[in-house]
Amino acid sequence: MPRVTYGMQNQPGEWSYTSGKAHDDPFNEIELEAIFTGPSGTEHKVPAFWAGEQEWRVRFAPREVGTYSYRTVCSDNGNGDLHGREGTFEVAAYDGNNPLQSHGPLQVSVDKRYLCHADGTPFFWLGDTWWMGLCARLKWPEDFQELTADRVAKGFSVIQIVAGPYPDMPAFDPRNENEAGQPWEPDWERVNPAYYDMADRRIRHLVQMGLVPCILACWGYYLPWMGVAKMKRHWRNLVARYGAYPVVWCIAGETAMPWYLSETKQEDVEEQRKGWAEVARYLREIDPYGHPITAHPRTSGRDDVEDDSVLDFEMLQTGHSGYDSLAKTVKSARDGVAREPRMPVVNGEVCYEGIFERSWADVQRLMFLSSMLSGACGYTYGANGIWQFNTPDALFGASPHGSVWGNRLWREAASLDGSTHLGVCKGLFERFEWWQFEPHQDWIEPSAGEDSGLQQPYAAGIPDKVRVVYLPRPYGGWQKNRPVIKKLEPKAAYTAFYFDPKDAKEYPVGEVKGDTEGNWQIAKPPITQDWVLVLQRAAGGKRSSGRRG
């Protein structure tokens, strides 16, 4: 067999196969896959995607260095153009500078507390919400690349994006189209390969820029319309197209939410919870890479599927009512962290900045920091105007319920302060072994409780190493009853500083020692606003960013 030199590990390669035998309905008649065998003998069964007419393509990203062999398997085993094709290739070690390729794709950590790369390097999930980011309103390449560069510069690491039928619209609404039309043909006959050829450019660019695509198949209410069998074919196409990239799978948006105008909502909820669990099982079966799987929910992803064992990590949605959403946000995060069996917890949607002309930057900081210090391992920001991509000549308009979420243009939304502030806060966490942080409300008094006082302080960290305290409520110089740090280790000396969550400026406090009971009243903050107070052990408290699987 001929031997060719392939690129590098974790880099997708592509093989194309054309059938000389004409099939009347290739997408629905034919299933093609390639079985790749690595140097260690590990096999990967990779589905191919229908590329239009009589062509199929296989994308594969090898994980090992050395010689690979492959063979194709077609459901029409008499078709010699598709079945039984063989070859070998060589894989070299990756020598680029993209962390998604150098550290490998994502997985769940051994202790089920956070996400990490294949080599064990912890991954900090700071997502942005681009539900309709594959549509024509976000022009390729200029608009898409501009927004991508902005998010990279601000420290985002994940983009949540729908690669199929969109939310907030009926099936085949023109607002769903990209440059090549709809993702599916009418009546769900077959996918539109040209749509996904256009989508490929965008997904590939995100990865090239170091961003992890969190890919959703569609919104949950499409399942009763398409049926489970068609939804499986939809997911097979997505796995074949994008599985070779370092992606995360999200089975659907608001997985168990029925169609907005449904007259059988409770029946739809149960059908969707059952059906999406079946689809998730199928997704796990056909994905040769084992990418993490989650579900974007009404509230809890685990509750939106009939069997939560089909998921690898919990995703939350906790409201859009500004400060009134804080109680649900904190309770959901704490409940998710405590739930068994344990899963990493990501708050995937809360209080889009600017929605209802509220939830500005102060709310963004509050929701992010309260979630992370309550045990979440990741957080997704959203801005009203970006998720639907309003443009001057194409406002999204009304949802099926008749209301308009807002007409802020996406470029204006991209410059809202909250996106900058969350990147600043992420940078603070990444100075430390944040993946070892545990909530410690017992370290601060008063502290945010279960049902009340939720604008009181939040605390987390690593005992005897570092403590991070968020003070949502401003404390002025006239106030004598400032919060007290509790349970400082006997004879331990800490150094402390105030961290401004807006611009990363630091204000040293100096050495901190507890009294005989281990208590220390916090120093007066330099400005009357919300603050992050950081205490580090004076000896051995070095800031670090190590690796742990």
Count of alpha carbons within 13 Å of 369, Cβ hemisphere only? 35
Using pLDDT thresholds of 50, 70 and 90, give the confidence band for residue 542: very low
> What is the rounded CA–CA span in Å between residue 46 and residue 32?
9
Q: What's residue 3's pLDDT?
A: 44
Q: What's residue 346's pLDDT?
A: 98
More reliable by pLDDT, 547 or 61: 61
Residue 47 dihedral angles phi and psi, to the nearest 5° = -70, 145
Residues 330, 318 contacting (CB under 8 angstroms):
no
> What is the rounded CA–CA span in Å between residue 496 and residue 522?
10
| pLDDT tens figures, 293-332 | 999 999 999 999 999 999 999 999 999 999 999 999 999 9
How distant, in Å, are the alpha carbons of 158, 224, 289, 299, 404 from that of 220? 21, 9, 24, 13, 21
Using pLDDT thresholds of 50, 70 and 90, give the confidence band for residue 491: confident
Of residues 481, 487, 490, 474, the one with CA closest to residue 522: 481
Using pLDDT thresholds of 50, 70 and 90, give the confidence band for residue 541: very low
Q: What's residue 452's pLDDT?
A: 66
Radius of gyration of the chain (CA): 25
Cα torsion angle, 394, 400, 405, 406, sign: positive
Of 307-321, 333-347, 471-485, minimum mean pLDDT range: 471-485
Residues 62, 38 contacting (CB under 8 angstroms):
yes
The torsion defined by the Cα of 71, 77, 79 and 80, in degrees rounded to 10, comes to 40
Q: Which residue has the tokens 């974790």?
A: 10
How distant, in Å, are the alpha carbons of 18, 67, 146, 246, 381 from that of 290? 28, 22, 31, 11, 26
Q: Give me the percent of the chain exceeding a pLDDT of 70.
A: 97
Q: What is the mean pLDDT of residues 460-480?
A: 92
Using pLDDT thresholds of 50, 70 and 90, give the confidence band for residue 6: low
Q: What's residue 284's pLDDT?
A: 98
Does the structure show a pLDDT above 50 at 545? Answer: no
> What is the rounded CA–CA span in Å between residue 153 and residue 415?
12
Type and span of the H or E element at 369: helix 361-372
What mean pLDDT value characterizes the chain? 95
Of residues 186, 183, 276, the one with CA closest to residue 231: 276
Type and span of the H or E element at 327: helix 326-338
How distant, in Å, are the alpha carbons of 465, 489, 519 from that of 516? 20, 10, 7
DSSP letter at 202? H
Does the structure show a pLDDT above 50 at 235? Answer: yes
What predicted TM-score, i.e. pTM, was given to this entire model? 0.96
Does the structure show a pLDDT above 50 at 543? Answer: no
> What is the rounded CA–CA span in Å between residue 230 and residue 189?
9
> What is the rounded CA–CA span in Å between residue 547 and residue 549?
7
Q: What's residue 539's pLDDT?
A: 65
| pLDDT tens figures, 251-303 | 999 999 999 999 999 999 999 999 999 999 999 999 999 999 999 999 999 99
| pLDDT tens figures, 495-535 | 999 999 999 999 999 999 999 999 999 999 999 999 999 99
Q: Which residue has the tokens 């001929």?
A: 2
| pLDDT tens figures, 123-153 | 999 999 999 999 999 999 999 999 999 999 9
Q: What's residue 305's pLDDT?
A: 98
Q: What's residue 117's pLDDT?
A: 98
Using pLDDT thresholds of 50, 70 and 90, give the confidence band for residue 450: confident
| pLDDT tens figures, 500-509 | 999 999 999 9
Does the structure show a pLDDT above 50 at 544? Answer: no
- 3-class SS at 353? strand
Degrees to nearest 5, angle at CA 303 with 191 and 116? 75
Q: Give me the percent of the chain exceeding a pLDDT of 90.
A: 93
Beta sheet of 248-250, edge-to-edge order: 293-294, 248-250, 212-216, 158-162, 125-129, 378-381, 345-349, 314-317
Q: What's residue 226's pLDDT?
A: 98
Q: Which residue has the tokens 């994940």?
A: 158
| pLDDT tens figures, 164-220 | 999 999 999 999 999 999 999 999 999 999 999 999 999 999 999 999 999 999 999
DSSP letter at 380? E
Report all structural domains of the chain as residue ranges with CATH numbers, in order of start: 3-92 (2.60.40.10), 123-428 (3.20.20.80), 438-537 (2.60.40)
> What is the rounded CA–CA span in Å between residue 417 and residue 362?
9
Q: What's residue 476's pLDDT?
A: 80
Of residues 46, 63, 132, 125, the one with CA closest to residue 294: 125
Q: What's residue 538's pLDDT?
A: 81
Residues 245, 207 contacting (CB under 8 angstroms):
yes
Give the contacts of 172 (CB within 8 A, at least 6 positions apart). Answer: 182, 184, 186
Residues 419, 154 contacting (CB under 8 angstroms):
yes
Q: What's residue 549's pLDDT?
A: 42
Degrees to nearest 5, angle at CA 286 with 282 and 287? 115
> What is the rounded CA–CA span in Å between residue 80 and residue 87?
14
Q: What's residue 451's pLDDT?
A: 66
Residues 223, 279 contacting (CB under 8 angstroms):
yes
> What is the rounded CA–CA span in Å between residue 101 and residue 89?
19
Does the structure show a pLDDT above 60 at 391? Answer: yes
Using pLDDT thresholds of 50, 70 and 90, give the confidence band for residue 247: very high
> What is the rounded CA–CA span in Å between residue 80 and residue 302?
45
Give the contacts of 496 (CB within 8 A, at least 6 positions apart). Answer: 508, 509, 510, 511, 512, 523, 533, 534, 535, 536
